[in-house]
Structure 1
Amino acid sequence: MFDNSDPAMQRAYESARAAFRYFWREVARDRRRIVPALDLACVKAPFSDVGGSDTEHMWLSDIDFDGRTVSGTLVNSPNRLRTVAAGDAVSVPLEQISDWMYAISGAAFGGYTINLMRSRMDARERREHDAAWGLDFGDPLQIRTATESEHATFNENLAASLRDHLAQEPAALSETDGNGWTLLHQEAAAGGAATVAVLLEAGADAGAVTDLGLTPLQLARALGWDEVAALLERA
């Protein structure tokens, strides 16, 4: 439990929203791995009953993102709310999420609100909190995100395999997923400059739109992938 009006908590919400692209990059990349690396990937968002004054911030798993809305399965059981329950399929606009977190090999990344609360605990409380989660959150004043060098290596390797795949399956350029996303949309949202370059070289349609009418460039801009946006602007 925490004071939702706390200025520091509000800043934690804003920081999590601004950095959502790093969360989505990991989720998108994990979907391309033969052996998934993520132990968990969750987003926190506020929920209220219609007409009610109570707001509860709860975690979602099985995350999807259509360019505007984050959707998933509610993990928590509400304390006071009556219109949602654990296990419900829910969705919230991206600009309303309050936190995100993923874990790899027991190490937690993100968790802006969690680490704010951890920073206000004494050493014993923090140990008990971390043990209850079963995760290593590290220094509460240092939010973990994957390094750019790690992703640069992954993207270069993925670009090479993608080039080979497209040579054998050129129709993959125009195939779409359940949200109407092409491979170019997916890579633009994941911040994959190397893979976006390969797709454009292979003739991917930079003007293709999703079911919500979003182009790859709009996705890259919305998530703050400047290098990818620059490639798409020149396409």
Structure 2
Amino acid sequence: MDKPIIFFAKGDSPEMIAAFEQAQDTFKYFWRELSWEYRRIVPGLDLACVKVAFSQQVEDKAEPAVEHMWINEIDYDGETISGILLNDPNELTNVEKGEAVAVPLEQVSDWLFASQGKTYGGFTIQAMRSGMDKVARKEHDAAWGLDFGDYNDISIVYQQKEKPENLVEHPMSRNMGNSLADFLKQHPGELNATDEAGYSMLHRETIAGNLTSVEILLSHGADRNIRTHSGKTAFDFARQLNWQHIIPVLE
């Protein structure tokens, strides 16, 4: 699949454009974490939000006006990211704070989640912090109430260094396998049930990169040929999101 075109504003620095690219390339890890957060009884995240580039053509200007603003209450179907706009635009009039929005991955310019005060992602934030002195960085972090750590060492998953296997699969996917198997035994009709957009459990677990869940669903007879209303199989999403550990299982 061709690399998506980065949606950016004229005048953005090379460092910031590189941050946009990193955010888009790793967004699947943000969604993987958030999809498990939605299943937790006790929340594990302090916050989870996505920065999106919004644009509007301005009269008498060749280039559209672009503002990068944060959204939360995120959902993701493998194609579209939706959420609620947290910011009041400075210039744009086609969106407003509190509005429900839906955008493609190409408009994502950053993502951030935090757990126990530690941050993950935040590529544009770290690009900005890299240009601050120590005092300014301390004030910046205090304003957020978060520990952004070393701007040269950005984590994208929990215990990334201590447990590199977490980059391959979320630990909750590995640990919840037996619970999923028990659920399927008790509710066999859920195995190939689809939602209003045509997504099955296999689609959703594939999008979230959950290898153990995918393997259990297949072992119980999940239909890998079910297509969403947009025509995508679970394998299509595995390839699209480049989940290398799941692609061979669905081929």
- TM-score normalised to the size of structure 2? 0.87
Residue in 2 aligned with 1:23?
A: 30
Q: Distance in 2 between matches of 1:178 and 1:59?
A: 27
Shift of 1:5: 2.5
Q: What are structure 1's unaligned runs of at least 5 residues?
A: none
Residue 32 of structure 1 aligns to a residue whose secondary structure is coil
Secondary structure at the counterpart of residue 38 of structure 2: helix
The answer for the alignment partner of 2:21 in structure 1 is 14
Report the equivalent of 1:173: 191
Q: Secondary structure at the match of 2:33?
A: helix
Superimposed CA distance per residue, residues 174-210 of structure 1 (whole angstroms, 9 cap, x where no aligned partner):
2233543211111101111111000000001111112
Equivalence for 2:43: 36
Aligned to 1:190: 208
SS at match of 1:227: coil
Paired letter, 1:165: F
8 Å CA contact 2:77–2:207 kept in 1: the answer is no
Aligned 1:129-208 pairs, distance under 5 A: 129-146=140-157, 147=160, 148-150=164-166, 151=169, 153-208=171-226
2:65 to 51, 54, 62: 54
Q: Number of paired residues?
A: 232
Percent identity, aligned pairs only?
A: 47
Structure with greater helix share of residues: 1
CA deviations 1:138-185 (Å, max 9, x no partner) are: 111111121343445322211111011111111111223354321111
Partner residue, 1:126 = 137
Where 2:202 maps in the other structure, the secondary structure is helix
SS at 1:73 equivalent: strand
SS at match of 1:92: strand
Structure 1 CA distance for aligned equivalents of residues 17 and 127 of structure 2: 11
Q: Is the partner of 1:20 in helix, strand or coil? A: helix
1:93 to 101, 104, 108: 104
Q: Distance in 2 between matches of 1:125 and 1:31?
A: 35
1:67–1:214 contact (8 Å) kept in structure 2: no
Any idea what SS the aligned residue of 1:67 has?
A: coil
Task: Report the 3-state secondary structure (helix = DSSP H, G, I; strand = E; otherwise coil) of the residue aligned with 1:9.
Answer: helix
- Provide the residue aligned with 2:5 in structure 1: none
Asked whether the 8 Å contact 1:107–1:135 carries over to 2, the reply is yes
Post-superposition shift, 1:4?
A: 4.3
Moved over 3 A (4+): 148-153
Contact residue 174 and residue 182 of structure 1 kept, 8 A:
yes
In angstroms, what is the RMSD of aligned CA positions?
Answer: 1.7
The separation in 1 between residues aligned to 2:175 and 2:113, in whole angstroms, is 23
Give the TM-score of the pair, scaled to structure 1: 0.93
Instruction: Specify whether residues 4 and 191 from structure 1 end up closer, same or farther in structure 2 by C-alpha distance, changes over 3 A only.
Output: farther
The whole-number CA distance in structure 2 between the counterparts of 1:168 and 1:186 is 20
